[in-house]
Structure 1
Amino acid sequence: MRKTCLSLFLAAALAGCQTAPPPDAPREGAAAAASREAGFPAVAESLLMRALERSPEWSIYAGRYDDAATLTVPDAQRRAEDLSFAEAALAELAAFDPAQLPPDQRIDHMLLTNRFESTLWYLSIFRDWAWNPASYNVAGPIGLLLNTPYADEDSRLRTVMARLERVPDYYRAARASIEDPTPEHVELAIVQSRGALSVFGDGLRERIAGLGLDAAERATFETRIDAAREAIQGWIDWLEGEQARLAERGNARSFRIGPDLYEAKFRYDVQSDFTARELYERAVAEKERLHAQMDGITRQLWPKYFAGTAMPQDRLERIGMMVGHLSQRHVAREDFVDEIRRQIPLLAEFVREHDLLDQDESRPLVVRETPEYMRGGGAGASISAPGPFNPTANTYYNVSPLDGYTDEQAASFLREYNHWVLQILNIHEAIPGHYTQLLHANKTPSLIKSLIRNGAMIEGWAVYAERMMLEQGWGGQEPEMWLMYGKWNLRVVTNAILDYAVHVEGMTEAQAMDLLRREAFQEETEAVNKWRRVRLSQVQLTSYFTGYAEIYDFRERLKREQGEAFDLKTFHNRFLSYGNAPVPAIVGLMGEGR
């Protein structure tokens, strides 16, 4: 359920702590004076556009291609420039008192301030640029340029050719930046870098040969492809050497970030009214509530599926038996991706028939196999959505194929994504989950709220959409569907528990597998992937439950306050109209009638 989300600088600014100001950074005094003379919207827009210009990679993901030919080299000088730019930006923002701004502008001020403050924190304190080699990969933006028809093929290929020129410099900078990597992130970097080689393979050479590039351009392109592949392969070789060295040394850096870094990262990334500890405690309580609910459904279904079989005394055991039995109903291995494609229009029709929220049929969803350079992080499905500068581009539903699984692993995976759960997955990823929400976000008049994406709002909406669809009748109110929804929702809850417990409390692999397998009823393949994922990320796994809890609480409060006047479609459209802002900010805006 991981999503492809944008970061303001972190994809391009991945290392170092020098403080020499970049040529384009405003002086603090001049910035403050200019800010006082200009209205806040003009200053905010200026900051946003300067940030985009400084990060061609972010611009590409946002659908803006003005600087797409430039590849950012993540060296120490670049990190120093990013620090200086963020400090200067904060000085400009400090010229405005948020309390004196209208509510909508107040949120933009908060989003920009949080983003630049988090940039400083990531670069100078968290410093994952020094220990996470998986942060370095040139394939993503180039893959987007090759697959997004924002211009004719010749122009896009020339843009790619220009970016390729600095690929060797990019990987030299990456190698120089890594100081003390974790073994887990080295392994991920190797897997994804091997996938990156596929972007620069025969398919790209065939596209070059078939287009209007002259002989000199084709020769330059071929040379640069060869140099890029050599640089990536050299990076892989170096990573494999690091992997062997870390294994021999035996005392490598831990992937656990500890309580102080965790609370700070939660504050910057999630922007919730919860603290990380409060969210963890609520998740523990929600796990108990779900177990009680699922037990009631299991007792109801027992005579239907286990007539004549004694019901176990242990609650988790009897729920697990029922879940295991129902999980045997699933699609064939070879039909997995096709079944996802089949369900998407059915979900869209259900939303139309029940008038749940606005859709846009002019912007279809494309189901595809997950590109190789995106695989290996532990997520089987994700959404790649266009940014607001190119909102009509394709949105991709990435589905990882089961080709690399053994028969046993594939069977486990299909039991996890069984007949009922696969439907909930598609609600989450597609309609009316991520795909629908991001379409709405691209239409918000505030570029800031659209471009600065809050993961908890995005993930929380998708989780909320699952429950809302079942409440409205998807699945026919079958108890089997609600039992499997409980199992699925336990993933969200245990994500939050697992992430905090692993990184803050030192939960072991055995304890994690017990939580996932026995208490959340997950198949072994799913649990193993989640253990892998929690070692490769921090805080992101909490975003699902955080956003969901905040959205659901807000909706239920409005229903109590408005009574019969409450309209679900109006609530959904208004909520989604505020882009990707944090849920507490949206609650504030809707509460003030904005």
Structure 2
Amino acid sequence: MTRSALLALLLLSGAAPALAQAPPPAAAAAETAGQRLHRLFRESDEASLRRNPIQAMFRGDYRYADRLGDFGTDAYFAAEREAAEADLAALRAIDRNALNPTDRIAYDVFEYQTRDNLVDLEPDMLALTAVRPLNHFTGFHTFYPVFASGRSAAPFRNVEDYENNLRRHRQFIDAFDRVIARFRQGLESGVVETQLTIRNVIGQLDTQLAAPPEESPYFGPVANFPDEVPEAERARLRQAHLEIIRDGIYPAYRRLRDFLQNEYLPRAREGVGLVHMQGGDRLYRRLVESNTTLPMTPEEVHQIGLREVARNRAEMEAIRQRVGFEGDLPQFLEYLRTDPRFAAANRDEMREGYYAIGRRVDQRLGELFSTLPRTRLEIREVEEFRERNASTGSYQNGTPDGSRPGIFYYNAYDLPSRRTHGMEALYLHEGAPGHHFQISLANENEALPAFMRFGGNTAYVEGWGLYAETLWDELGMESDPYQRFGGLNADQYRAIRLVVDTGIHAMGWTREQAIRYMLENSGVSETQATTEVERYIAIPGQALSYKIGQLKILELRERAERALGDRFDIREFHAQVLMTGALPLAVLERKIDDWIASRRAG
């Protein structure tokens, strides 16, 4: 998981950082610039894992599996800030000009990411973010049940793993009071969440509390023990887990739920955009820049969105005419979002549909990629307790050693609203060759420093996912005009995001206005439009990254094709984009320009 994703989901951390000690002067003098750089990377990464044990577990590193860390505390933020400042000081002491080309890329990425992290850790920025510790889209209340379910990153191999799970549960329970304290701090300063997001959180908590402890995700690990757990230990562990769920976790959920319902909701803001929040304009401009990794303004992004929406509408209109639909485009969109022929009959049919798509894509991937991930890809349905507010599809990375697969999650909530003509594009984005390729190939590349293997930025990650959708023709997808329309529709609502996200947070659009714009300009269902708009409300700026990143990668590919002509190799281009991890877009552009120059010179 990326640093930004972890911070948004949990802000989980460990104790104060143990900063790397400099080597003796004689040893330092003997090191080359490249060796010093990679030592800095290793020591920074090791210190970060100690501070962020959840991140370590997602990488298959269980040394700190007995802890969650002090998420959201002043000590956590201070430790992260101190570590970042120390890392930058050490980086400045290394001569960039003495590095080889690959290490210069690593230097630039490390510098960019560290400086970017520091901006978010400044007190004036934390005053706008830390006091809103969760909402219905990101938060430990929905992250942790999956994490602890036995179907995610938390290990359940032996008795020690189960004991560590109980230790983490106790820390999880304690964290609820810290979250409530942060919310109260926001009430005092006037920086508060929206009524909409808080109502959704209350609904999520109610859903979890309605399930008996034995049917909760937390009980999953003790419902099925691995063989390595002796029979004599199982009854004790099962009872211990039942008690902590019933007597600890559930009461903590109720405390948070009652606080939000009785104290916070009456004082939450009605306006859904950051434009209505104290300090929201400054925060949103920061979020635009951090999510796109480019110096863009909300106004610029809005105009790009309008242009892309118009382009997609023209292509959608062409398909309407091709299939002989007699009504206009809005009527065609309504037909596609409501006609039963475009809905799966049941959940089994949807699952089998995704399996079939995966098999077809696998047959063609070698034509476009010189390196395929070793980590296998698994297809799963979103769990019932979180499906109502979950996105249409998502990806969870596996471990570099292949012990845990990458997972493509699809959402079957309100099944009649889930259109089958969008399935191929969704799989290309979230599965292969989208997030599964981008994340797994970086994770598996041991030649990269850890921060490039496991870190990244949303513009690259989501830009690649959306770019992967444009490979439909080369992968033999969307030969059916309705599936092609589904691909256009998927691209369209990423273009719409540029308009709607900026509309909500910079221009004061209402929730209803944003939903209406989505329905008028795409074939998404009302359920999907509502979920998407409420997502943009919950995580401002993140939705901008998809289209901006895709457009940059497409621009670079077109530049390379034009410059290299017959010498252009799509497999080599994809390797250049993918094999150094998730680069900030400006760094990626420099890399591709250097590659083009070297190929022309060769």
TM-score of the pair, normalised by structure 1? 0.83
Match of 1:398 among 404, 409, 426: 409
Q: Could you tell me which residue of structure 1 aligns to residue 277 of structure 2?
A: none
Asked whether the 8 Å contact 2:158–2:229 carries over to 1, the reply is no
Q: Could you tell me which residue of structure 2 aligns to residue 474 of structure 1?
A: 477
CA deviation map 1:81-117 (0-9, x unaligned):
3333333333333334656654433333343334444
Distance 1:321 1:53 in 2: 52
Secondary structure class of the residue paired with 1:468: coil
Q: Could you tell me which residue of structure 1 aligns to residue 361 of structure 2?
A: 347
- After superposing the two structures, state which structure 1 stretch, 69-78 or 340-349, moved more: 69-78
Q: Could you tell me which residue of structure 2 aligns to residue 261 of structure 1?
A: 283
Distance 1:146 1:289 in 2: 42
1:422 and 2:419 aligned: no
1:365 and 2:377 aligned: yes
Distance 2:373 2:305 in 1: 37
1:89–1:391 Cα change, 3 Å: farther
Counterpart amino acid of 1:77?
Answer: A
Match of 2:110 among 100, 105, 112: 112
Distance 1:248 1:9 in 2: 24
Asked whether the 8 Å contact 1:114–1:268 carries over to 2, the reply is no
Q: Could you tell me which residue of structure 1 aligns to residue 162 of structure 2?
A: 157
Q: Could you tell me which residue of structure 1 aligns to residue 518 of structure 2?
A: 516
Q: How is 1:412-561 mapped onto 2 (pairs within 5 angstroms)?
A: 413-414=417-418, 417-418=419-420, 420-444=421-445, 445-446=447-448, 447-470=450-473, 473-476=476-479, 478-561=480-563
Asked whether the 8 Å contact 1:146–1:157 carries over to 2, the reply is no
Asked whether the 8 Å contact 1:429–1:462 carries over to 2, the reply is yes
Counterpart amino acid of 2:140?
Answer: Y
1:145–1:91 Cα change, 3 Å: farther
Distance 2:593 2:465 in 1: 22
1:98–1:514 Cα change, 3 Å: farther
1:254–1:26 Cα change, 3 Å: farther
Q: Could you tell me which residue of structure 1 aligns to residue 397 of structure 2?
A: 385
Match of 2:140 among 136, 157, 178: 136
Asked whether the 8 Å contact 2:272–2:510 carries over to 1, the reply is no
Counterpart amino acid of 1:317?
Answer: P
Counterpart amino acid of 2:472?
Answer: M
Distance 1:269 1:288 in 2: 24
Q: Could you tell me which residue of structure 2 aligns to residue 583 of structure 1?
A: 585
- After superposing the two structures, state which structure 1 stretch, 61-70 or 558-567, moved more: 61-70
Secondary structure class of the residue paired with 1:252: coil
Secondary structure class of the residue paired with 1:426: helix
Q: Following TM superposition, by how much is the alpha carbon of 1:350 offset from its aligned partner in structure 2, in angstroms? A: 3.1
Q: Could you tell me which residue of structure 2 aligns to residue 186 of structure 1?
A: 198
Tell me the matched-pair count.
563
Match of 1:42 among 17, 39, 43: 39
1:155–1:249 Cα change, 3 Å: closer
Secondary structure class of the residue paired with 2:273: coil
1:64 and 2:61 aligned: yes
Asked whether the 8 Å contact 2:222–2:237 carries over to 1, the reply is no
CA deviation map 1:136-159 (0-9, x unaligned):
347267437665697734443233
Q: Following TM superposition, by how much is the alpha carbon of 1:285 offset from its aligned partner in structure 2, in angstroms? A: 0.8
CA deviation map 1:362-386 (0-9, x unaligned):
5322122223565454402111112
Counterpart amino acid of 1:544?
Answer: Y
Q: How is 1:269-418 mapped onto 2 (pairs within 5 angstroms)?
A: 269-272=291-294, 274-302=296-324, 305-306=325-326, 312=328, 316-317=329-330, 319-320=332-333, 323=336, 328-334=341-347, 335-352=349-366, 355-358=367-370, 360=372, 363-371=375-383, 375-388=387-400, 390-402=401-413, 405=414, 410-411=415-416, 413-414=417-418, 417-418=419-420
Asked whether the 8 Å contact 2:381–2:410 carries over to 1, the reply is yes
- After superposing the two structures, state which structure 1 stretch, 358-367 or 281-290, moved more: 358-367
Secondary structure class of the residue paired with 1:366: strand
1:79–1:516 Cα change, 3 Å: same
Distance 1:161 1:464 in 2: 42
Asked whether the 8 Å contact 1:359–1:436 carries over to 2, the reply is no
Counterpart amino acid of 1:448?
Answer: F
Of structures 1 and 2, the one scoring higher in RCO (CA 8 A, sep 6+) is: 1
Asked whether the 8 Å contact 2:422–2:486 carries over to 1, the reply is yes
Distance 1:342 1:589 in 2: 36
- After superposing the two structures, state which structure 1 stretch, 111-120 or 539-548, moved more: 111-120
Q: Following TM superposition, by how much is the alpha carbon of 1:569 offset from its aligned partner in structure 2, in angstroms? A: 1.9
Distance 2:388 2:70 in 1: 24
Structure 1 alignment gaps of length 5 or more:
16-20
Identity of aligned residues (%): 19
Alpha carbon RMSD of aligned pairs, Å? 3.7
Secondary structure class of the residue paired with 2:444: coil
- After superposing the two structures, state which structure 1 stretch, 201-210 or 335-344, moved more: 201-210
1:97–1:177 Cα change, 3 Å: farther
Asked whether the 8 Å contact 2:288–2:298 carries over to 1, the reply is yes
- After superposing the two structures, state which structure 1 stretch, 145-154 or 160-169, moved more: 145-154
Distance 2:508 2:592 in 1: 40
Distance 2:300 2:99 in 1: 30
Distance 1:507 1:110 in 2: 38
Asked whether the 8 Å contact 1:161–1:224 carries over to 2, the reply is yes
1:97–1:371 Cα change, 3 Å: farther
Secondary structure class of the residue paired with 2:67: coil
Q: Following TM superposition, by how much is the alpha carbon of 1:235 offset from its aligned partner in structure 2, in angstroms? A: 3.2
Match of 2:567 among 565, 568, 576: 565
Secondary structure class of the residue paired with 1:422: helix
1:511–1:100 Cα change, 3 Å: farther
Counterpart amino acid of 1:533?
Answer: R
Distance 2:265 2:292 in 1: 37
Counterpart amino acid of 1:143?
Answer: A
1:91 and 2:89 aligned: yes
Secondary structure class of the residue paired with 2:507: coil
Secondary structure class of the residue paired with 1:157: helix
Distance 1:344 1:330 in 2: 19
Asked whether the 8 Å contact 1:63–1:391 carries over to 2, the reply is no
Asked whether the 8 Å contact 1:427–1:466 carries over to 2, the reply is yes
Structure 2 alignment gaps of length 5 or more:
187-191, 275-279
Q: Could you tell me which residue of structure 2 aligns to residue 243 of structure 1?
A: 260
1:361–1:166 Cα change, 3 Å: closer
Q: Following TM superposition, by how much is the alpha carbon of 1:502 offset from its aligned partner in structure 2, in angstroms? A: 0.7
1:576–1:141 Cα change, 3 Å: same
CA deviation map 1:406-454 (0-9, x unaligned):
xxxx32x13xx22x32122112221222222222222332122221122
1:372–1:87 Cα change, 3 Å: farther
1:177 and 2:177 aligned: no
Match of 2:76 among 75, 78, 81: 78
- After superposing the two structures, state which structure 1 stretch, 549-558 or 329-338, moved more: 329-338
Distance 1:377 1:451 in 2: 27
CA deviation map 1:439-487 (0-9, x unaligned):
22223321222211222212111211212222554233x4444333222
Asked whether the 8 Å contact 2:381–2:412 carries over to 1, the reply is yes
Secondary structure class of the residue paired with 2:535: helix
